[in-house]
Homo-oligomer: A and B are copies of this chain.
Amino acid sequence: MKVKVLVTPKAAVLDPQGAAVRDAMQHLGMPEVESVRIGKYLEIEVGAGSADVESRLHGLCRDLLSNPVIEDYEIQPTNL
């Protein structure tokens, strides 16, 4: 199955990369852009496995794929 994982900066955390992109977009023809937040997007192809794939994936999202101090993650299974 294919799993999509979104890792986004928490709302309370400053996102200077997003602020830079927002300013660039405002100067390049889209002054109506109000805010931009930038995260990571992962497409993970998982082969047939045992039943606890999802809990192990949550563990790896916490430990490897995101920094839980400043980031949230969201798992979207697309083809269970």
Interface string of A27-61 (1 = CB under 8 A from B): 01110111111111111111111000100110110
**Residues of B contacting A53 in the complex (Cβ-Cβ under 8 angstroms):** 30, 32
Given the complex of chains A and B, what is the CA–CA distance between A49 and B38 in angstroms? 22
Q: Which of B33, B35, B43, B47 contacts A36 (CB 8 A)?
A: B43
> Looking at chain A, what size class is its interface with the partner chain?
35 or more
For A39, the chain B residues whose CB sits under 8 A away are 40-43
* Partner of A65 from B21, B57, B59, B60 at Cβ < 8 Å: B21
Contact partner of A38 among B18, B37, B42, CB < 8 A? B42
Residue of A7, A44, A49 with most partner-chain B CB within 10 A: A44
